[in-house]
Amino acid sequence: MNIPVRIKDDLAFLTSLRRDLHAHPELGFEEERTSGIVAELLEEAGIKVHRGLGGTGVVGTLQAGSGTRVIGLRADMDALAMPEIAEQSY
């Protein structure tokens, strides 16, 4: 697999973040911790953040240039209420 250098450089952090989020699941509209982490990381990256949309939603706005075109990306942060059957340490 050809992993971009930037991701390789941050792989330990990204793996730790994924494991941390997995270890602290939050159901829909209860994602206070998760949304806080996401918002802080976006702000650290210089992205304008709007918090609390729909309760725990996070929107990051990144503007380049003066154009009017936009690209939207959406992701879920909530956990599903189901038993964990994986035999992983996280």
Nearest to 51 by CA among 34, 33, 37, 39: 39
Write down the pTM of the prediction: 0.86
| Phi, psi of 10, rounded to the nearest 5 degrees | -105, 10
- Domain ranges in the chain are 5-61
pLDDT in tens, the chain (90 residues): 688 888 899 999 999 999 999 999 999 999 999 999 999 999 999 999 999 999 999 999 988 889 999 889 999 999 999 888 888 776
Rounded-to-integer distance, Cα 24 and Cα 38, Å: 14
Distance CA 71, CA 81 (A): 31
